[in-house]
Amino acid sequence: MRRLALAPALACALLLRVAPALAQDIEPRAYSNAPVGVNFLIAGYAATRGGLAFDPSLPITDPDLRTSNALLAYARTLDLGGMSGKFDFVVPFTWLDGTAVVAGTPIERIVNGYADPAFRLSVNFYGAPALTMREFAKYRQDVIVGASVRVTAPLGQYDNSRVVNIGTNRWSIKPEVGISKTEGRWTLEGKAAATFFTRNDDFYGGSARSQDPLYSLQGHAIYNLPSGIWVSVDVTWFGGGRTTIDGARGTDLQQNWRVGGTLAFPVDARNSLKVYASSGVSARTGNSFDLIGVAWQYRWGGGI
């Protein structure tokens, strides 16, 4: 009975949005609390259409690209010196097809393979102490302040004779800070981040391509329904990310807005589901894309 009673709380506490390491991802409840020692296995599917979700600063125009992404992830909640934390990693496999224009020439691309995997460590500095399952049953969120660092590794499919690829052939690191406040059934969240990229010395045709940091802001309004169901309205802004290829500065400074929504609900004490969607509403460089996805989560350990 105690497991069943805790199922709604755990569903609210952590249900990762499993997606590829998108340059414009949106993730509510990234800084919520969960009992220490719980493991999460997540499998999902996400589809995009429009611009290239992995690297929207590529030198292409008129993109009509479609991706289907199978996703597998693992996460574990941690006790980091009395503060709650989480480690997670995501491994995506992608099918991509569609058309675009490169330097005035139409191209077609059909390819599949692994995308760049992502690893993340997060910690809640305030308002979310490390708790056992028994202690977590009495926990009620007020204000949480946290931070995370996400790293993507250049292990995805890549072909330097092609402009459009699934992998990016470079590392990225994304430090982020976030704050979350619950009042009644509502939770409001805000996050700020910057993504830094290493240089790709084997870009299209053997060129060297570098990119300025990409800055982002996210906001989420989450309504917590009975039995652990929650819904959110999500918005994000991205700016910066201008590229340089062989010393030539690009005109691809990004100023992008996206909006989306999320619905999550528990199935039982160990399983939860999430569905989500987002769409570009404004993009300075014409690289908007639409996204829809679903994720299933299984959890174990930590006294569940």
Q: Whole-number mean pLDDT of the chain?
A: 89
Which of 18, 12, 56 is closest to 227 using CA atoms? 12
- Per-residue b/e over 161-171, b at no fewer than 16 CB within 10 Å? eebbbbbbbbe
pLDDT value, residue 62: 86
* Residues 131-181 pLDDT 10s: 999 999 899 999 999 999 999 999 999 999 999 999 999 999 999 999 999
Confidence of residue 304 (pLDDT cuts 50, 70, 90): confident
CA pair distance 185, 80, nearest whole angstrom: 28
* Residues 190-202 pLDDT 10s: 999 999 999 999 9
Query: Hey, what's the torsion of the CAs at 89, 146, 24, 267, to 10 degrees?
Result: 60
Look-up: residue for tokens 């997060």? 122
* Domains parsed from the chain with CATH numbers: 2-300 (2.40.128.130)
Both structure tokens of 282 = 């404004």
Helix (H) or strand (E) holding 54: none
Confidence of residue 302 (pLDDT cuts 50, 70, 90): confident
pLDDT value, residue 232: 96
* Residues 209-239 pLDDT 10s: 999 999 999 999 999 998 889 999 999 999 9
* Residues 41-67 pLDDT 10s: 999 999 999 888 778 778 888 889 999
pLDDT value, residue 135: 93
For the chain, give percent helix, strand, coil, nearest 5.
Answer: 5, 60, 35
Which of 92-106, 171-185, 253-267 shows the highest mean pLDDT? Answer: 171-185
The model scores a pTM over 0.85: yes
Residue range 17-31: mean pLDDT, rounded: 68
Sign of CA dihedral 84, 177, 89, 49: positive
Residue 8 has pLDDT above 70, yes or no: no
Which of 225, 234, 231, 223 is closest to 264 using CA atoms? 231
Look-up: residue for tokens 């990310």? 241
| Contact predicate 60/86, CB 8 Å | no
**Strand pairing class (200-203; 61-80):** unpaired
- Per-residue b/e over 38-52, b at no fewer than 16 CB within 10 Å? bebebebebbbbbbb
pLDDT value, residue 14: 54
